[in-house]
Structure 1
Amino acid sequence: MILKNKIYWFICLLLISGQQVLAQTATDSSQVKDLYYQALNEKARGDIDLAQTTLHKLLKLDDSNDAAYFELARLELEDKNLGDAAIHAKKATTLKPDNEWYWVLLADIYKRMEDFNSLPPIFDQLIRIKPEKKEYFYDRAYALFLNNELDKSLQAYHEIEQKFGKDDNIIIARQEIYLKQKQPKKAIEEVTSIIEKEPDSTKGYLLLANLYLKLNKPKEAIKVLDEGHARIPGDPYISLSKADAYHNLKDEEKSTRELRMAFASERMDFEGKMRLLISLMSDPKSNEMAPIVRDLANTLTISYPTDARAFALYGDILAQQKQLKEAREQYLKAIDINSRVNTIWEQLLQIELSLGMQKEALAHAYKASALFPQQPLTQFFSGHAFFMEKKYTDARSCFEAALNYVDEKNTPLLTQVYSSLGDTYHALDMFAESDQAYEEALAIDSNNVGTLNNYAYYLSLRKTNLEAAAKMSRKSNELEPNNPTFQDTYAWVLFQQGNYAEALKWIEKAITNSGEKSFALLEHYGDILFKLGNIEKAVSKWKEAKATGETTGENVELLTKKIDAKKYIE
């Protein structure tokens, strides 16, 4: 009886224990599921760090959750944490070796790590899972090439050919392998087979000519291209390749002739001609090609007189070649055709401001800022156009709009926007806001010389926080020595601090480096001389400043009072 009771209670305990395990498993499973969906939601909201933390919590509860390892690896890859991403992606593939996307993720991670040695086995797995997917066979062959396993790579391409049939991509890949193996004859034979197969197709001639150019055999390239032109007369792309070959032979006359022939061909569409001009612009030899590129761009506008892109590109080319007035004319023509392209307005405003065409920039700023209220760069240039014409309220609106829409990752523009707001708020007597804007600019870029100078100068005008002003002005002069504007600012900060002897040294440096008479520098020079007791010379400099100011349209009323009274007047 006692034994039976013991057995009974033992069975009961087992049953109870089992129920607790089942209850615990069910609870854990539910919690794991909740954590997984929580992580996905956090990821969707952009809370990457929080999503990773949630997935780590999940994996403490269930370290066999392949989906969690996969999602964690994806987040780590996005976060550029490649080492951990590789570990977790590999764990996912171990737990679920037949999941295609786990292996694809692991391959992407190794590519980013440039760990080419680890790639071929991954593509072996992907081929096992999806033997009908041709791209995995190509990926494996190319990975072997990157890993310098050239014979294996050749064999892999042979297998592709056996399984999927002949393909020009295989020929091109084999050509690269033969070149790397220093077997140029085999490389030439491979590409020649394309011409033999398709003698009326441009591709083979271009590939073989390009190969000869790689081998530094431009004469052979021209010979092939001549054969191509005989089969396909007037082909623009063969002409372009010939232009390259003649350039290699230093025969610029023939190179230019072929280039013009290609560009004149109706077989090259508008987009092709645009791409060609853009590539010529970005060529390191673009200075040598400048007249030809300019001429081709002009030809494009003649051929396509109703397409704003042609005129905008011509403007870009002229601007690159420092022909700003001519570039401006092309941008105006582009806007007449299509006024809805913000980048054209940005270029136009930038050029007008740099040319000192302030009235014209102002007129265009009104239009551009209204057309593109959410384009930060358009608003930024419009703001400067308004600021230069003392339309400070309009300038403020533009700079604040630019601030609202600028990408925070674009720190150079963000710095300039804050700095410009500092200038504008100061002009509107919003001094607290001005100081804050400058502080924001310097928090992003503490070495921004323009911000350092302007902030220091405006503090000196207000006789506020002069110690900080002196520190900033000193720093701007260290960062950019011999800048007369920065030297003048430092002289004026020292003046406001009562350090007139040191101020005199800096204003004289500024005048020496200026190279031309400056109204502001001469007036400051006179002010400093007066404080040092040199009244006669001070009045002389004031008179000189007045004469300069009258020719440049400055307000000389205060100077006249100083001269008449022979004393410094604020």
Structure 2
Amino acid sequence: MHLSKTRTATILLLLLNLTACASFTTNEADKAPYYEASFDDKNRAPASFAPAVVAADGTATLDPLYMRTQADYYFAAGEAYSLEGNSAKAIESFKMTLVYDQESPAVSMRLAAEYLKQGMISESLTQAQEAVKKDEKNIEARLLLGGLYSSLKIYPKALAEYSEVLKLQPSNTEAPLYIGALYSEQKQSDKAVKYFESLLKNSEYATPHLAHYYIGRVRLEQADGKFQKAAEASFKKAIELKPDFSDAVISLGMLYTKQKNEAKALAMYREFQKENSPSSRIAEILAQHYIEKGDYEKAYEQLEIVEADSDEPLNVRMKMALILIEQKRFDTAVVKLQEVLKEAPDSDKVRFYLAAVYEEMQKSELAIKEYRKVPVSSTYFGEAVVHAAYLLKGLGRLDEAIEVAQSGLKDRHDQPQVYAIYASLLDEKNDYKAAAKVLEQGLEKFPENAQLRFYFGTINDRLGNKDIVVREMKKVLEVDPNHVQGMNYLAFTYAEMNVHLPEAEGLARKALAIEPKDGYVLDTLGWILYKQNKFAESIKFLEAAHKYQATVSIIAEHLGDAYFKQSMVEKAKRMYHKAADLETDKKKVEEIRNKIFAIERQELANPRLPASVDGAIAAENQQP
């Protein structure tokens, strides 16, 4: 909870702000003795460089001024290293300080601070203990030692140190705070509250709003209704004393949310942001709420507050960029993503999203450039290859697209989507055998990948291997029983083979139940009904299919066939003309136009004769 965090922060503050002079020892008798004989060697330094020696009672001691100067020098060096963030050298300097001033509690405390920075808890604890040993009445040393015991969860010893502080200084305002935190961590709520309340009676305690806040936090963790009311009262009192105290507002909001009154909490948050300097923490809460509700405009406003006050603005900016993308404000999203990328140039995620935005803006060249920069090690690599290849194909650069996919597959064999795009591009180039080989390799690695197996079935359809098509589509449905494409393709294949038509109809109807507006599924069902001579019923589904897929030649042709079977000759001719205009395959266009010519020949030969009685024409038009 917040109490332990507050205590830890305060302890660290104490550790890092101990700037007392290194020389705490003033008793001359306590100075380190130094015997003159120790200088008796053959390579002594020049006399002018040697420290002054003072004789006393038959012994020799170093000059106290020299000792103090050395201690102060090393202490200052340690402080400088500490400020630079070089704890290792700071420790060395403070240890050297102790050589010249062994009795200084301040140096031991500074050592404790640096050891703590290094994560050397036991060493830090030893030095804090030394500081207390050197000066038992040192309040800061005991607070430091108590904090270390507390962080190690040695609660009795921590409590003993804080209690000693109160004996030495009954008006101390920190010890009751830490004792309350200790009891709170041990779920001794009433004892914790007692110490926080004692702060309210202390005339020297300058921040009573904090005491009320801590009481509220303790009571918030207690489930009983009376404690929840006490928590609410404490938080409200804290806010009354300090209206801009965001921590209390957030905690009160947590209480309301816990009571399933989120609307009240949100109203309070909004009011706080309006009446005070906006809080970044409250802004985070509101932003998340607005995002979940889809109110991106308001979410963005709150994220701007977070961004201005965040130590890690990159994550915030990324959220802002995603909101801009959702709002289709692509130009602004690009600027935001470029800002993030400037500070984090190695972020594959940001680069991928930037590429995706360029793709949405139809700036294909820029999108391809960014997709190609996504590193092989990235989790976005496979998708980046797929998008880059797809865009190159759209630009008419099919060979280059194939090279990108081929290279991507060479770099990563664990991306099924890369096998799929590579095969589809080879399919586009009519290299069906090569496409089938790529998909076979993919299925060796991903035998349970329904989409790869589906593509493998479609490629075999191109190769005329209907039996393989049926086998693979059945396997697709074994892996994913609700795979709409697989159901539809198997059903259509049965229709084209003119086999298992009742089963085909069942598959098509199941697919349609899942995707009721899929034009291809509607076409399949209509065509199966046509094959079963249910022409009137087939027209309903084929017309619906044409409505959803008005630019697909085969659907228009099927509808024309159904119209013709129902003697709707003019409608049939219109559909055939449309199908011919939409078709790109010259051979297929010729087949469709032959149907039109057949109708026209019949009309010239006997304009009054119903089309359905002309056996030759009917047989010709029954061909798919």
State how far apart, in whole Å, the 2-side matches of 1:304 and 1:172 are: 37
RMSD: 5.7
- Name the counterpart of 2:333: 368
Measure, in 2, the Cα distance between the counterparts of 1:325 and 1:183: 45
Shift of the 246–395 alpha-carbon distance from structure 1 to 2, 3 Å rule, reads farther
Q: Distance in 2 between matches of 1:338 and 1:121?
A: 41
| Equivalent in the alignment of 2:66 | none
2:130 aligned to 156, 159, 162, which one? Answer: 156
Say whether residues 1:472 and 2:447 are aligned partners: no
Contact 1:426 1:434 in 2 (8 A): yes
How far is 1:531 from its partner? 6.1
Alignment pair present for 1:242 and 2:215: yes
Q: Partner letter of residue 508 of structure 1? A: L
Amino acid in structure 1 at the alignment position of 2:330: A
Going from structure 1 to structure 2, the CA distance change for 1:439 and 1:426 (only over 3 Å counts) comes to same
Matched residues in 2 for 1:290 and 1:445: separation?
51
Query: Could you tell me whether the CA contact under 8 Å between 2:389 and 2:402 is conserved in 1?
Result: yes
TM-score, normalization by structure 2: 0.51
- Equivalent pairs, count: 430
- 1:431 is displaced (CA, Å) by 3.5
Which runs of no fewer than 5 residues in structure 2 stay unpaired? 1-76, 342-348, 509-519, 525-540, 562-578, 586-624
| Counterpart contact for 1:379–1:401, Cα < 8 Å | yes
Partner of 1:505: 474
Q: CA 1:386–1:544 in 2, change beyond 3 Å: closer, same or farther?
A: farther
1:428 to 395, 419, 425: 395
* CA deviation profile, 1:4-60 (whole Å, cap 9, x unmatched): xxxxxxxxxxxxxxxxxxxxxxxxxxxxxxxxxxxxxxxxxxxxxxxxxxxxxxxxx
Contact 2:112 2:128 in 1 (8 A): no
Q: 2:232 aligns with which of 245, 252, 257?
A: 257
Aligned to 1:304: 273
- The structural deviation recorded for 1:236 is 4.5
The answer on whether the counterparts of 2:162 and 2:179 sit within 8 Å (CA) in structure 1 is yes
Contact kept in structure 2, 1:550 and 1:556, CA below 8 Å: no
Deviation at 1:267, TM superposition (A): 3.4
Q: CA deviation at 1:190?
A: 1.9
Greater length-normalized contact order (CA 8 Å, ≥ 6 residues apart) = 2
The Cα of 1:448 is off from its aligned counterpart by: 4.2
Q: In the alignment, does 2:181 pair up with 1:216?
A: no
Aligned to 2:112: 138
Distance in 2 of aligned mates of 1:295 and 1:475? 54
Amino acid at match of 2:183: Y
Q: Indicate if the aligned counterparts of 2:372 and 2:385 stay in contact, CA closer than 8 A.
A: yes
Post-superposition Cα deviations, 1:414-446, rounded to whole Å, max 9, x if no partner, equal: 665444434433443434444455566667764
Distance 1:409 1:264 in 2: 53
Residue aligning to 1:544? 522
Q: Measure, in 2, the Cα distance between the counterparts of 1:416 and 1:262.
A: 55
* Structure ranking higher in helix proportion: 1
Q: Does 1:267 align with 2:242?
A: yes
Q: Is the 8 A contact 1:374 1:402 kept in 2?
A: no
How far is the alpha carbon of 1:335 from its aligned partner? 7.8
Three-state SS of the structure 2 residue aligned to 1:411 is coil
Contact 1:120 1:144 in 2 (8 A): no
Trace 1:93-492 onto structure 2 (pairs within 5 A): 124=95, 127-128=98-99, 136-139=110-113, 152-153=126-127, 155-158=129-132, 161=135, 166-168=138-140, 170-174=142-146, 176-177=148-149, 184=156, 186-193=157-164, 203-231=174-202, 235-251=208-224, 253-254=228-229, 257=232, 260-261=235-236, 264=239, 267=242, 269=244, 289=258, 296=265, 299-305=268-274, 313-318=284-289, 324-334=292-302, 346-347=318-319, 350=322, 361-362=327-328, 364-370=329-335, 372-376=337-341, 380-381=352-353, 383-384=355-356, 387=359, 391=361, 393-394=362-363, 396-398=365-367, 400-401=369-370, 411-413=378-380, 416-438=383-405, 446-451=413-418, 453-460=420-427, 462-464=429-431, 465-466=434-435, 467-472=437-442, 475-476=445-446, 478=448, 485=451, 488-492=454-458
User: C-alpha separation between the residues in 1 aligned to 2:408 and 2:378?
Assistant: 9
With structure 1 as the length reference, what TM-score do the two structures score? 0.55
**Shift in alpha-carbon separation, 1:522–1:191, aligned structure 2, 3 A:** same
Residue equivalent to 1:558 = 553
Q: Structure 1 residues 219-228 or 339-348, which shifts more?
A: 339-348
2:197 is paired with a residue of what secondary structure? helix
How far the C-alpha of 1:452 sits from its partner, in A, is 5.0
SS in 2 for 1:412: coil
Report the Cα distance in structure 1 between the residues aligned to 2:364 and 2:405, rounded to whole angstroms. 16
Report the 3-state secondary structure (helix = DSSP H, G, I; strand = E; otherwise coil) of the residue aligned with 1:513. Answer: coil
Percentage of matched positions with identical amino acids: 9
1:424 alignment partner AA: L
**Partner secondary structure for residue 304 of structure 1:** helix
CA separation of 1:485 and 1:199: change in aligned 2, threshold 3 A: farther
